[in-house]
Amino acid sequence: MADKQQFIDGLRQAWRDEVRSAKNYRALAERESNPEKRAILIRMAEAEDRHAATWAKRLRELGVEPGEYAESFLERVRRWVLLKSDSSVAAQMLEAGERDADAFYGTMLANVQSEQDRTSIIEAQREENAHHKMLEEFEGRGAHPQT
């Protein structure tokens, strides 16, 4: 029973984190003047929305309502700092969040309730890792071929 409650608590946290990430990506997209970068940020926000919807659905299947997202004061401050930062610093901040999400999903795997849960978490992990790599490219720190 403790594993199930830990899993539910993890899903709640994952849901919150994904909703917050989507809001951050959208906020950055609104200020981004480069149309290609804006499109990338919007696609990343949409992916975070899909993750949040997956976790909300699973919580409901487990008899738990995710509730409404209420942004904390600290989250508002972090978004403000994110938006006041230059693009490179903002990308680094988001990149750190993606690495944290990937690690968090790794810890959630210890309490999975079904093979479907395992598959969903691993898929979310893959996407978070892809976001991390996209953010490296976004800020121009990605791997470049030697010429």
What are 75-132's pLDDT values in tens digits? 999 999 999 988 778 888 888 888 888 889 989 988 888 999 999 999 998 888 888 8
Are 108 and 10 in contact by the 8 Å Cβ rule? The answer is yes
CA torsion angle for 52, 103, 130, 58 (degrees, to 10)?
-20
Residue 7's pLDDT is: 92
* DSSP H or E stretch at residue 15: helix 2-31
Enter the pTM of the model: 0.86
Are 21 and 62 in contact by the 8 Å Cβ rule? The answer is no
Query: What are the Cα distances from residue 90, in Å, to 23, 41, 86?
Result: 14, 12, 6
Predicted confidence band of residue 143 (pLDDT cuts 50, 70, 90): very low
Q: Report which of residues 144 and 107 the model is more confident about.
A: 107
With CA atoms as reference, report the closest residue to 136 among 96, 101, 95: 95
Q: How far apart are CA 56 and CA 66, in angstroms?
A: 6
Predicted confidence band of residue 53 (pLDDT cuts 50, 70, 90): very high
Predicted confidence band of residue 144 (pLDDT cuts 50, 70, 90): very low
Q: Report which of residues 2 and 14 the model is more confident about.
A: 14
